[in-house]
Amino acid sequence: MKLVLFDCDGTLVDSGKLIHEVMARTFENHGYERPHYDATKSIIGLTLDTAIARIMGVEEIDDHIRTMTQHYKDLYSPVRAEPGFEEPLYAGVAEMIEVLVARDDVVIGAVTGKSRRGLDLIRNSHGFENVFTVSRTADDCPSKPHPAMVLECCAEAGIDPQDTIVIGDSVYDILMAKSAGAKAIGVSWGYGETVALQAAGADVVVHEVGHILHHV
């Protein structure tokens, strides 16, 4: 039996535009300039408080960071409801998931820097309510690349890390997988660079969604 753990943002869904807009409005509302899209893209995958601190160039997550984090959370759903800020699946993801769900040797899970509410929005928006047997979010574990998300999913599923595959678009996903003792598949259509994914230790980087099935 294999455990296949998917990152969400940049791997299953194209959420970069939404994340950047919410982040930019959060910074503006606290008296800062809108961050550049590249700055936002570089932190996608981290838990929100860590991401905001990283953009601001600070190490400590203090009360100000926590206030901005809550502001972001409050803005997220209203902005997501605006035209043009949906989180569409990447082409081929629904079909790929359908194939994996039909297999009896695979357990599917999610490991995401999203909140539990954010993951539930993805499940409900795309018919994935019963896809993820196990999942860990920013509400449950330390930020990637800490291995807790993977290790806790493994423990819950009763599957060893060496029989687990983490699929993601960021170096944080790859580093998390390797530190947990799992296989890491990088995807090139998200927000990370192929060279960076390879340097982080990805076992393979795939360039088409359907190619994931060749490695699972």
What's the start-to-end Cα distance of the chain, in Å?
11
Mean pLDDT along residues 97-105: 97
What is the pLDDT, as a whole number, of residue 59? 87
Mean pLDDT along residues 22-35: 96
What is the pLDDT, as a whole number, of residue 187? 98
Mean pLDDT along residues 84-106: 96
Mean pLDDT along residues 94-118: 96
pLDDT digits (tens, 9 = 90+) for 125-165: 999 999 999 999 999 999 999 999 999 999 999 999 999 99
What is the pLDDT, as a whole number, of residue 65? 96
Q: Which fold has domain 16-80?
A: DNA polymerase; domain 1 (1.10.150)
- Residue 5 predicted with pLDDT over 90: yes
C-alpha span between 216 and 202 (Å, rounded): 14
Mean pLDDT along residues 99-125: 96
Instruction: Report the CATH number of the 2-14+89-215 domain.
Output: 3.40.50.1000
- Give the start-to-end residue ranges of the domains of the chain: 2-14+89-215, 16-80
The percent of residues above 90 in pLDDT, for the chain, comes to 98
What is the pLDDT, as a whole number, of residue 139? 95
C-alpha span between 189 and 207 (Å, rounded): 7
The mean pLDDT of the chain is 96
Cα dihedral across residues 204, 11, 46, 159: positive or negative? negative
With b for 16 or more beta-carbon neighbours within 10 A and e for fewer, the 54-77 pattern comes to ebbeeeeeeeebeebbebbeebbe
